[in-house]
Chain A
């Protein structure tokens, strides 16, 4: 289900089979062949060849798997560090921008008052001033989302059932999905333990993923939401869509702030980066698997006992 996480590819028992048992068998086989008639010896040698070939292929596979797991972890670490740095930067910028926005707002109000005192505003002036207010609000919206993104506040933890947290958000999105005649399929694992996490924070992350999926799917498309165990002490949530998928060159940037594949004006490009930030703060990981034409699957892995005060 997930790429390379928690797979015990090279545990001691498996290696022992290849590094101890196979050579011993090979040696025994060779000795037996030495003292056997030619036909039997030939057969034994062929068998041994097969055995060694199989063993080598397995070992090579294990090495390759372990390498790709390590590379994946390295990429994730780099990504997290980059985003943490961007978080610091955006918080400072957002605070800075809020100041001039507040001033623009006040001055516009002042203009309105002055004009009203001088005998009223023409409709064009009123509309202009209104437009200024609207745009200032937009600016504030963006800075607020930036500040959300970089907020360092540590999460508060409460006990809740994972599928309940998600289902509540799915219900909200499902109604919007109806407009596109799209459906949402659920695959909840009912045997999961209660999670101890910051519930509304997780809800925010989930709703971001769901609205993203909803935007991605075509008319009549499907979103599939699933929960499951991700190894001892970990659970996972996945949101899959059958939309156009993500291009390979976009995949590494998909959690970057302001990165969006939507046309200008549609969406701030902060949804997934906020998700990433939230999940990291909860001590979890978020991964994406996608190929153009094959839709996308976002997987969130969380500790059952999340980080709290």
Chain B
């Protein structure tokens, strides 16, 4: 399973990368929505972890683009306590699930795995 993390906070990304790698899950980082779309145009991913509050192209717009171009990919939103409405909107836009920041890694991992499972099930069915 391949995971793409999209967040503008480098520290957060580094922590996440370490923890995912420890569990042998390959993870790529993107620091913005635009960077993520660029990466996605070259490589396929199963699950994206997306911060809804980012400068530039914001989380929800990124989510919309991802769902439009790569509908099979599942997205898990990272919402802070100040961006709850984005969480709600994101669910209506097709996000798989959300996780509140500060992130409980085992909860995130569990959701990423379930999202990955759904992606596999969906992809298998389309062939």
Binding site for B on A (CB under 8 A): 154, 156-158, 160, 168-169, 171-173, 175-176, 199-200, 203-204, 207-208, 211, 309
Contacts and interface: CB of A to CB of B under 8 A. Distances in A.
B96 interface: yes
B118 A200 contact: yes
Contacts of B114: 158, 160, 199
Given A156-B121, A309-B125, A200 B87 contact: no
Given A156-B118, A199-B114, A204 B84 contact: no
Contacts of A158: 114, 117-118, 121
B98 interface: yes
A174 to B, nearest CB: 9
A211 B88 contact: yes
Contacts of A160: 114
Given A158-B121, A168-B98, A200-B97, A175 B81 contact: yes
Interface in B79-96: 79, 81, 84-85, 87-88, 91-92, 94-96
A168 B84 CA distance: 12
Contacts of B96: 199-200
B92 A176 contact: no
A136 to B, nearest CB: 14
Contacts, number: 50
Contact of A176 (B84, B97, B100, B118): B84
A207 B74 CA distance: 18
10 contacts: A158-B121, A172-B88, A172-B98, A176-B85, A199-B96, A200-B91, A200-B97, A204-B94, A207-B92, A211-B88
Interface residues of B, number: 21
B26 to A, nearest CB: 23
Contact of A169 (B91, B118, B125): B91
A172 B88 CA distance: 7
B51 to A, nearest CB: 16
A173 to B, nearest CB: 7
B95 A200 contact: yes
Contact of B94 (A169, A171, A199, A200): A200
Contacts of B87: 172
Contacts of A169: 91
A173 B91 CA distance: 12
Top 9 A-B pairs, shortest CB-CB distance: A175-B84, A309-B125, A156-B121, A200-B96, A172-B87, A207-B91, A156-B122, A172-B88, A156-B118
Contact of B92 (A156, A171, A175, A204): A204
